[in-house]
Structure 1
């Protein structure tokens, strides 16, 4: 069922955090400083929010209000009914690096990762924590020792999956009724943790650099491999069942479309902030796959 990738949105800086919601594909543009949405084919492109602090992870409260991570503010913002953005959760005293991707559970609790070190400045890689922002804005650390927690998803049986970009792995936790993450385990391991913590040595040592990710209806976890220029479908235990090489680096993905079988992916020539701020070469591409989204 796979087809050649089709570009549905172009002329962006660096797209991340795609989400299928209310019949539209939503996404953040880091250096365009906005959240946008579009129809499945890219038509009717709308700006949903302007985020000067650099938008990343997206999610929605049970009442439908949008949540968006503001990376440099290290905060989660909430879009009110009148379109204004307010601070929903302040992570500035908690996150060790820029706030990044996010998943929101059915109770409106947001689970937010952070870089943990100065990636763009070339600092040595370091482990960091994952934080939960409750609907009332309370921030709680729920996991630590994670190597760049990035794309995440919550399975139907309440397992929280998180891709660790510099960890060569996907970790899993049991998500409890009261929002705790317990029983930390490796769900998929692609290789050992890098021995050398310097960025220029660690990046080439990664077998897979799992970035943005999404879950399908059969429990497969689609992952954008940030250093492998590919999208891979992984199952528990680490087996790769499918691989798509779209001919470009990819950094995040989401399943959606009318039948759930369109895999949207965020593509750009690289992830370096200077180059991406200076150009509009980012794209959202779409590929047909066999198994629909969860």
Structure 2
């Protein structure tokens, strides 16, 4: 079966351009995303787009963010710098752990997100993408941080099925996506299976999303494409974009969103670095919060 080829009408959802926009998430009628290298978290309200509202400025690489179960107090859980912390609205950080703070390597945190039970998962990588130097960490509701996978290079995701029983994680540098069974009660991972592989010319699997039909959507860095994979691994759709560096994908308000980057482009085009939006009939769950026990 040949994947359906789609070239929707994309528009710049943001009036700004970013060096490395990442981590698109739909939440309460707004889109959240980060500028990873600047360490900023932004929000754009509604489907019309416009100028992003700066929510956090951390002055360190910011790989991923999720609201906490007490988000009304203005707190977020962040994978930033060399660790994982709770951040207040002013950017004050209460560190839960700094697992990437290593004397032998220059490390930073990368992508992450929450599962159905409200656990936060985030990966680490060496800043020069040294082979196998990264890990995946799980933050439980009591705030404890656990290393659950090692030997990763550039981890992106993870993302989870609606029932919380499967996790997908990409190792972008290796061009692979693996799928792990998850115990929804404990967060323990079962034996992994390779779900998809990409040769370098196909692009590197980056940010991902699982839609309401349990299909996996993958942003392919370097080739200006987003790929939709069925739960059995079949390639259902290939969505083309007008910019090569697509870094994450999200759905909300009848739109598909794609974050992009000017990073490593000698001559960025007019849409490089924008968050793009196009109409779609695909739906997906909104961002899941981190359920910190202390927040009740």
Q: TM-score, normalised by structure 1?
A: 0.81
Q: Which residue of 1 aligns with 2:226?
A: 231
1:33-77 alpha-carbon deviations (Å, 9 max, x no partner): 31110122223631111111121212122333422221xx21223
Match of 1:43 in 2: 50
Distance 1:113 1:84 in 2: 21
Any runs of at least 4 consecutive aligned residues in structure 1 with deviations exceeding 6 A, and if so which? none
Q: CA deviation at 1:134?
A: 2.5
Aligned positions of 1:39-118 closer than 5 A: 39=45, 40-43=47-50, 45-64=52-71, 65-70=75-80, 73-80=81-88, 83-93=90-100, 97-116=107-126, 118=128
Question: Structure 1 residue 127: deviation in Å?
Answer: 5.4
Q: Which runs of 5+ in 1 are unaligned?
A: 192-204
Tell me which residue corresponds to 1:266: 259
TM-superposed deviation, 1:292? 1.1
- Number of the residue aligned with 2:13: 8
Tell me the distance in 2 between the aligned counterparts of 1:3 and 1:93. 39
Moved more, 104-113 or 48-57: 104-113
**CA-to-partner distance for each residue in 1:95-132, whole Å, 9 max, x for gaps?**
7732100111244321111224623xxxx533532111
Gap change, CA 1:133 and 1:19, over 3 Å in 2:
same
Larger relative contact order (CA 8 Å, sep ≥ 6): 2
Preserved CA contact (<8 Å) 1:55 1:68: yes
Structure 2 residue 155 is the aligned partner of structure 1 residue 149: yes
Contact 2:83 2:108 in 1 (8 A): no
Pair 1:68–1:87, CA change in 2 (3 A): same
Q: Distance in 2 between matches of 1:235 and 1:118?
A: 33
- 1:83 deviates by 4.2
Aligned match for 1:243, one of 211, 214, 238: 238
1:233 is displaced (CA, Å) by: 0.9
In structure 2, the partner of 1:196 is none
> Secondary structure of 2:190's match?
strand
Task: Determine if contact 2:115/2:159 at 8 Å carries over to the other structure.
Answer: no
**Cα distance, 1:206–1:85 mapped onto 2, change above 3 Å:** farther
Task: Write the distance in 1 (CA, Å) between the matches of 2:119 and 2:267.
Answer: 34
Paired residues of 1:18 and 1:252 also in contact (CA < 8 A): yes
8 Å CA contact 2:62–2:109 kept in 1: the answer is no
How do 1:74-223 and structure 2 match up within 5 A? 74-80=82-88, 83-93=90-100, 97-116=107-126, 118-119=128-129, 124-126=130-132, 128-158=134-164, 159-176=166-183, 177-191=185-199, 205=200, 207-223=202-218
Which segments of 5 or more consecutive residues in structure 2 lack a partner in the other structure?
Answer: 1-5, 286-296
2:280 alignment partner in structure 1:
289
